[in-house]
Structure 1
Amino acid sequence: MQPFPFVPFVWRDPSWLGERDAESEATDATDAGERPDTGLIGYEVEATDGGIGKVDEDNALVPTDCLMVDTGPWIFGRKVVLPVGTVQRVDHDERKVYVDRTKEQIKNAPEYDPEADPDDYRRRTGDYYTESYRLLPPML
């Protein structure tokens, strides 16, 4: 049993977003300049066992409670979407986002399809990561 329930679409610590506050993080802004995660575009993304890519410039295409990551050649140029609840910490000095899932877990996540029903994709992604936390809780 894990010490806390996993909530896939909630930042564990909104202070990671920098100067934006938790109230602005909670808004459902559609303008890319108002999104709380806009400042993370271009940041390297590190899984527990190595780098997986960068926060993609098309991040505004996914909900504000997700990060779109361009994996580059690692998994054939595929873009993956990570719920913000997977973010363990953000290091603004290094420009890195650390997630608490392995490369394999991220690789096996539901594939992002811009044509798919967003509600269905969100449900499948949330279910996938919630199950991964049930099976392998994050290292605290």
Structure 2
Amino acid sequence: MGTDRIWSYAVDSGHTEGQRLAGFTVVAADGTMGHVGRQADGSGWRHLIVDTGVWLFGSSVLIPAGLVTAVDVKAQQVRVACTAEEIKRAPRFKTDRETLDPEYLAGVGDYYRNLPPRQASAS
């Protein structure tokens, strides 16, 4: 089940319970990659669905909450601990049904969990 850290916001991320992130800009380690279209906080598989606009041909990507390194409410930004290229190579998100599919979510978690660790940027 999705109870490991990849599916939970880090204590030092700046995220607070009940905080709505829809509309916030998502900033990867190497630049802006879209905005939060919606989020799932009600289960053990907490994640963001990020609308990428033209960046990835108008698709959406699923990013586990554990990748959020910083939430800046004033700037309305969410920083994540991966690059845009790593997000681009992640398992494809096609429909909302996948957010309820444990097999799909386990694959996404495995993919992100196996990325090389990176230092959080300070900006």
* Counterpart residue number, 2:107: 124
| C-alpha spacing 1:15/1:7, structure 2 compared with 1 (3 Å) | closer
- Greater shift in the superposed pair: 109-118 or 89-98: 109-118
Give identity over the alignment, percent: 34
- How far did residue 138 of structure 1 move? 1.9
Aligned residues: 114
Gaps of 5+ in 2: none
Q: What is the DSSP-based 3-state SS (H/G/I as helix, E as strand, rest coil) of the residue aligned with 2:114? A: helix
Cα distance between partner residues in 2 of 1:66 and 1:97: 12
**Structure 1: which 5+ runs fail to align?**
1-5, 21-35
Contact 1:42 1:56 in 2 (8 A): yes
RMSD (Å) for aligned C-alpha atoms: 2.4
Q: TM-score, normalised by structure 1?
A: 0.72
Matched, 1:11 2:13: no
Displacement of 1:16: 2.2
TM-score, normalised to structure 2, is: 0.81
Distance in 1, matches of 2:59 and 2:13, equals 29
Match of 1:55 in 2: 36
Within 2, Cα distance between the matches of 1:75 and 1:55? 14
Residue in 1 aligned with 2:63?
Answer: 82
Alignment of 1:97-136 (within 5 A): 97-114=78-95, 115-116=97-98, 118-132=101-115, 136=116
Between Structure 1 and Structure 2, the one with more strand by share is: 2
| 1:139 to 1:120, Cα distance in 2 relative to 1, 3 A | same
